[in-house]
A = this chain, B = another copy of it.
């Protein structure tokens, strides 16, 4: 069932430790098949060295396990909510990568200080608030997804243009058109988080990159008038 998708999700997961984004089992990647309404995700707590494509777990968009010998990732409910609320995305990645997590622990949005950021992430990367005690007790993982989607709605941010978020005192989620692009964005986010921290250290009153520069770089890579690469 969904063998090709399992292979792709497996490969995206395996890139996470290779890019230095994941220690032990602290991360997971998933991809959804919009036609069948099923998503494939990493099993919970299984070591990367032991992982095989067959170990991937199939879950439906209500969060019910459909196939797999293992339990799905403990963050599955967050993925499910995001796939439902963000209909244009195809893949999601969660890590505890150290610079992005440091911003999350600091409870701060990552300001757009430069073109590396603007090339991939339109505007600041939002950091959502903590869940309340009631929200945690009711459905911690599901409500994490709800909180993320609501934050984008309230701030009127386009989730396609800004495919990343930080959860306060927790860590980052990124997404994209498939699991591989979500993984790519997780690498970008970590690099951007690192450089933003260091440039604040060098200039504590640092200001964001000018909006015209941000737009120039974002639209050089995205949209109808993109000129970057080999289209």
With the chains together, A44 CA to B227 CA distance in Å?
Answer: 9
- Across-interface contacts of A136 in B (CB, < 8 A): 212-213, 216
Q: How large is the interface on A (under 10, 10 to 19, 20 to 34, 35 or more residues)?
A: 35 or more
- What's the Cα separation between A145 and B104 when bound, in Å? 35
* Chain B, residue nearest A118 (CB): B169
Closest to A45 in B: B229
Instruction: Check A96 for interface membership: any CB of B closer than 8 A.
Output: yes
* A112 CB, min distance to chain B CBs, angstroms: 9
* B114 adjacent to A195 (CB under 8 Å): no
Q: Known: A44-B230, A136-B212. Contact between A195 and B116, CB under 8 A? A: no
Which B residues lie within 8 Å of A46 (CB)? 229-230
Inter-chain CA distance A168–B102, complex, in Å, is 24
CB proximity to B under 8 Å, residues A177-216: 184, 187-188, 191, 194-203, 206, 209-210, 212-213, 216
Interface contact A45-B106, CB-CB below 8 Å: no
For the complex, give the distance between the alpha carbons of A199 and B196 in Å.
Answer: 12
The residue that A198 contacts in the complex, of B74, B98, B188, with Cβ under 8 A, is: B98
Minimum Cβ distance to chain B for residue A188 (Å): 8
- Considering only residues 134-148 of chain A, those with a C-beta below 8 Å from chain B are 136-137, 140
- A10 is an interface residue with CB less than 8 A from chain B: no
A26, B228: Cα distance in complex, Å: 11
- Complex CA gap A169/B184 in Å reads 22
Residues of A that sit less than 8 Å from B by CB? 23-24, 26, 43-46, 70-71, 74, 96, 98-99, 101-108, 113-116, 130-131, 133, 136-137, 140, 169-171, 184, 187-188, 191, 194-203, 206, 209-210, 212-213, 216, 220, 227-230
